[in-house]
Amino acid sequence: MRWSAALGIVLFVAGLSLADSPSKPPTALTDYVTKEDKSFEWKLKGKVESNGSTTYTLSLTSQTWHDIPWTHDLQVYVPKGAKPQATMVLWNQGGTASPNNAVFGMLIAEKVGAPVAFLYGVPKQPLYVDKAGKLTTTPTNPKDDKEGRLVEDALIAETFVRYLATKDATWPLLFPMVKSVVRAMDALQVFAKDELKTEVKQFVITGASKRGWTSWLTAATGDKRVKAIAPLVIDTLNFPVQMKNQVAAFGRPSEMIADYTRAKLVPIPDTSAGKALWQMVDPYMYKDTITVPKMLIHGTNDPYWPQDALNTYWDDLKGDKAVCYVPNAGHDLREVDVDGKKQTIPLRAVNTLAAFGKSQIFDQPLPKVTWKYDASKKVCTVSADGAVLNCRVWTADSDTTDFRKSRWKTEETKVGKNGGTTQLAVEFPKPDKGLRAAFVEVECDANGCTMHLTTQIQILDSKK
């Protein structure tokens, strides 16, 4: 399973302030997504059965964007013995359907216990710039496929630059990415009725990195079919503040977002078009609209974000919410052991995602973890309702505010019971020198699935 490269949008909002935020979110996203596109179509390409499980493959054209048809593989994984339900998990990602991706998709479906859909080709890529300056799917140099090739962040950056130059609100690449997910929901509803003999009414939208960004913005459209979202490794809501946090933590913008610096989007000009751009694509701008349940999953060593980036926007999120920090994991969420060996599959993340998806599909209650941090006493008080298996305290030390290469260590902690609620008060001891990052993890049984829920990360200074 190949995970996406991260977005770098935080860079180009430097210098913009929250005072520039509109009282209501902009409408450009919904205007684009709801606009009729007659190129939308889909068909069932094939059906493969193996050991009692079934994989359906659909061919989808979600739209035509600036004369470029967006075509996708859309697969539905039905595990052995699983009955279709009224809610379906919809994962969006780049690339195309493959045997490895099918194994991963079926793994999630088996853990969820219901059919799961994977949408590929988000976004349409690679694209190239032809001699006339137009984006095209044809290589600029047929003898060298890499010449002028635009993918992932480089492609997003190119579309942002084009928006700034033209003021054409159809350019930002996130808009067609969201529309591809919405059109996938349209196709899946008809498919489920025809093939699975089930009316699918709602979806749990998920994906990693820029596909996590897409998950946020799909909910931002207000589409009532979005029952919940599970954005992975996209810890950068509230872009203007996040940019300041990034520079404060790393001393400079992350080196992982060089595509945006090369496109001279650092910082974006303090213009009306610049302000409009970040307002259109920042999920934080839609926080009052995105009230569905949210399961956020992040890596503690993700090189793109400061370790405490969540603290910038967590309190402002509306509705039910939960977070899982995967210790000693980067942007791919695969944990690294003390010998430097990386997991093949990001089990903590997969299990937590599956538990969340299963709860939404079968309308089952989830464990609920709440906490309060007393900064003056360095004490985190945690309450957990549900079947708690273990509680752990995770800490990492660093000589600087950059914890990305720090090793996280853990110890299990004693807990008390108050009826059906597990309670603990954890003191985060200050380090002898430098800085220490800390959080509490609660491992739960969630309707037969193992789920890892955590608190926010707190940074402690030896001098304070």
DSSP letter string, 114-135? S-EEEE--SS---EEE-TTS-E
Question: Is the residue at 4 inside a domain?
Answer: no
* 327 and 422 belong to one structural domain: no
Q: What percent of the chain has pLDDT over 70?
A: 91
Q: Is 66 exposed, middle or buried (0-12, 13-18, 19+ CB in 10 A)?
A: middle
* 287 and 421 belong to one structural domain: no
Domain termination site, one of 364, 390, 405: 364
Question: Is the residue at 420 inside a domain?
Answer: yes
* 116 and 211 belong to one structural domain: yes
Output the CA–CA distances (angstroms, integers) from residue 193 to 139, 189, 196, in the order listed. 40, 6, 6
Q: How many residues does the chain have?
A: 464
* 311 and 425 belong to one structural domain: no
The CA distance from 408 to 454, in Å, is 14
* 202-208 and 226-232 beta bridge pairing: parallel
The CA distance from 13 to 240, in Å, is 5
Question: Is the residue at 325 inside a domain?
Answer: yes
* 72 and 202 belong to one structural domain: yes
Per-residue pLDDT of 156-186, as tens digits, reads 999 999 999 999 999 999 999 999 999 999 9
Q: What are phi and psi of 336, to 5 degrees?
A: -115, 130
* 316 and 435 belong to one structural domain: no
Calculate Rg over the CA atoms of the chain.
22
Domain termination site, one of 336, 364, 392: 364
Number of domains in the chain: 2
Task: With both helix axes pointing from N to C terminus, report the angle between 347-362 and 99-112 in degrees, rounded to the nearest 10.
Answer: 50
Is the backbone of residue 210 left (phi > 0), alpha (psi -120 to 50) or beta?
alpha
Domain that holds residue 414: 371-461
Question: Is the residue at 109 inside a domain?
Answer: yes
How much is the pLDDT for 334? 98
**Strands (DSSP E) found in 25-126:** 41-50, 53-65, 68-78, 87-92, 116-119
Question: Is the residue at 314 inside a domain?
Answer: yes
Taking the complete model, does pTM exceed 0.85, yes or no? yes
* 300 and 399 belong to one structural domain: no
* 187 and 99 belong to one structural domain: yes
The CA distance from 243 to 399, in Å, is 22
State both tokens at 257.
């977002």
How much is the pLDDT for 145? 80
* 438 and 345 belong to one structural domain: no
Question: Is the residue at 255 inside a domain?
Answer: yes
The CA distance from 211 to 205, in Å, is 10
Question: Is the residue at 133 inside a domain?
Answer: yes
How much is the pLDDT for 21? 60
Residue 1 has pLDDT above 80, yes or no: no
Per-residue pLDDT of 402-438, as tens digits, reads 999 999 999 878 776 666 789 999 999 999 999 999 9
Element holding 202 (H helix, E strand): strand 202-208
Helix (H, G, I), strand (E, B) or coil at 349: helix
> Per the omega criterion (within 30 degrees of 0), is the bond before 123 cis?
yes
Question: What is the four-CA torsion angle of 339, 344, 349, 350, rounded to 10 degrees?
Answer: -150
* pLDDT, mean over the chain: 91
Is the backbone of residue 15 left (phi > 0), alpha (psi -120 to 50) or beta?
left
* 164 and 59 belong to one structural domain: yes
Averaged pLDDT, 312-326: 97
- Of the pLDDT bands very low, low, confident and very high (cuts 50, 70, 90), residue 2 is very low
Question: Is the residue at 2 inside a domain?
Answer: no
Task: Indicate the range of 63-72, 219-228, 273-282 predicted with least confidence.
Answer: 273-282
CA angle centred on 2, ends 209 and 342, rounded to 5°: 95
Output the CA–CA distances (angstroms, integers) from residue 234 to 8, 51, 213, 239, 310, in the order listed. 10, 36, 6, 12, 10
Helices and strands (DSSP H and E) totals, the chain: 9, 21
Task: Indicate the range of 51-60, 131-140, 192-201 predicted with least confidence.
Answer: 131-140
- Of the pLDDT bands very low, low, confident and very high (cuts 50, 70, 90), residue 267 is low
Query: What is the domain-level CATH number for residue 27?
Result: 3.40.50.1820
| Non-local CB neighbours of 69 within 8 Å, separated by 6+ positions | 39, 61, 63, 124
Helix (H, G, I), strand (E, B) or coil at 389: strand
* 406 and 359 belong to one structural domain: no
Query: What is the domain-level CATH number for residue 448?
Result: 2.60.40
Domain termination site, one of 339, 364, 389: 364
* 34 and 94 belong to one structural domain: yes
Q: How many Å separate Cα 362 from the centre of its chain? A: 23
